[in-house]
C-alpha cells in the first residue's frame, strides 16, 4: 500500500497544483474558491505568528507551495520528499523566486528517514494524514526528537467534514484509512488518508512530549503548533 502511495504522488506531481489552486476538476466556483483562499489566509496568519525561523525541516514538501512560504521566513529550509518529480517542481518554484541558495533537497523514503541534525522548526503540510494510524505516534516522536529545545512543530491538514470536503475530487473511501484516488488520465491508486480530530491530534502531540495548540481555520483546515521543552 505504501509503495502504491509513493507511486501515486510521483505520478500526480504534474497535476498536484490544480488541487491547491482550485483549477480544472477542483474548481469550486467563485464562492467556494473564495472560501478556500480565505481559509488559507487564516492559516497563514497563524503560522505568521509562529517561530518558523532559523533552520526549518519540511518533510513531504511536494511541489513547494509551503516551501516558498517557509523560505521567505527562515534562514534555511531542508526539503525531504520521496518523489523526484515533486522535488523538481519544488526546486523550479524556489528558483523562480530567486531563493534557491536557501533550500537544500533530499530525495528520501520518509518511512525510513532519521534525523542527522536538530532543527529550529519542522513543518508538516498534508503529510500525517497519509501515515497509517499505527505509524503516526512513532513518527511524531521522531519529529519531536529532531527539534531543538524550544523548537516548533507546525502541522497543516484537512478537516474530516465541512462544505469544502469535496475539494478533493476523484476520490472514494474504501475504509477509515484507505482512499481510492483517480488521476486526470484515469489511473487509480490506493493511498492512506486519515482525518484526525483536533482533540486526538493534541493528545498524540502531548504523548510525543510536545506542548500542543490545535485549531481550525473554519471548515477546511486543521492546524497545530507544538513546542518542545526549552
Domain ranges, ordered by start, for the chain: 2-207
- What pLDDT was estimated at residue 173? 76
**Segment 5-32, tens digit of pLDDT:** 999 999 999 999 999 999 999 999 999 9
Q: Determine the average pLDDT of the residues in 127-136.
A: 96
Asked if pLDDT for residue 106 goes beyond 90, the answer is yes
- What pLDDT was estimated at residue 164? 52
What does the alpha-carbon distance between residue 96 and residue 44 come to, in Å, rounded to a whole number?
A: 21
- What pLDDT was estimated at residue 1? 81
Q: How many CB atoms lie within 10 A of CB 185?
A: 8
Closest C-alpha to 38, from 22, 53, 49, 52? 22
- Distances from the Cα of 225 to the Cα of 49, 60, 139, 205, angstroms: 10, 18, 16, 9
- What pLDDT was estimated at residue 176? 84
Radius of gyration of the chain measured on its C-alpha atoms: 17
Asked if pLDDT for residue 145 goes beyond 80, the answer is yes
- Cβ distance 60 to 86 under 8 Å? no
- What pLDDT was estimated at residue 172? 78
| Whole-structure pTM value | 0.95
The helix (run of H) or strand (run of E) holding residue 190 is strand 188-192
- Specify which residues 224 forms β-bridges with: 155, 214
- Cβ distance 63 to 86 under 8 Å? yes
**Segment 20-75, tens digit of pLDDT:** 999 999 999 999 999 999 999 999 999 999 999 999 999 999 999 999 999 999 99
**Segment 148-206, tens digit of pLDDT:** 999 999 999 999 875 555 545 567 777 889 999 999 999 999 999 999 999 999 999 99
φ/ψ region of 68 (left if φ > 0, alpha if ψ in -120 to 50, else beta) reads alpha
Cell of 201: 491530534
Which CATH class name applies to 2-207? alpha beta
DSSP state of 21: T
**Segment 110-131, tens digit of pLDDT:** 999 999 999 999 999 999 999 9
What does the alpha-carbon distance between residue 36 and residue 166 come to, in Å, rounded to a whole number?
A: 12
Amino acid at each position: 500500500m505504501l509503495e502504491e502511495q509513493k507511486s501515486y504522488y510521483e505520478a500526480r506531481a504534474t497535476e498536484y497544483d490544480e488541487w491547491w489552486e482550485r483549477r480544472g476538476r477542483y474548481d469550486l466556483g467563485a464562492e467556494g474558491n473564495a472560501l478556500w483562499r480565505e481559509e488559507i489566509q487564516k492559516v497563514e496568519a497563524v503560522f505568521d505568528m509562529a517561530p518558523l525561523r532559523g533552520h526549518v525541516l519540511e518533510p513531504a514538501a511536494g511541489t513547494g507551495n509551503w516551501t516558498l512560504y517557509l523560505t521567505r521566513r527562515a534562514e534555511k529550509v531542508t526539503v525531504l520528499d520521496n518523489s523526484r518529480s515533486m522535488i523538481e517542481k519544488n526546486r523550479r518554484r524556489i528558483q523562480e523566486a530567486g531563493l534557491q541558495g536557501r533550500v537544500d533537497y533530499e530525495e528520501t523514503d520518509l518511512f525510513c528517514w532519521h534525523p542527522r541534525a536538530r532543527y529550529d522548526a519542522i513543518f508538516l503540510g498534508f503529510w500525517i494524514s497519509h501515515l497509517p494510524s499505527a505509524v503516526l505516534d512513532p513518527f511524531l516522536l521522531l519529529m519531536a526528537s529532531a527539534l531543538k529545545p524550544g523548537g516548533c512543530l507546525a502541522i497543516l491538514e484537512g478537516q474530516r467534514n465541512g462544505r469544502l470536503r469535496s475539494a478533493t475530487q476523484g476520490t472514494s473511501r474504501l475504509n477509515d484509512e484507505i482512499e481510492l484516488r483517480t488521476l486526470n488520465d484515469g489511473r487509480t491508486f490506493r493511498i492512506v488518508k486519515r482525518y484526525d480530530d483536533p482533540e486526538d491530534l493534541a493528545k498524540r502531540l502531548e504523548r510525543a512530549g510536545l506542548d500542543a495548540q490545535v485549531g481550525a481555520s473554519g471548515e477546511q483546515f486543521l492546524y497545530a503548533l507544538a513546542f518542545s521543552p526549552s
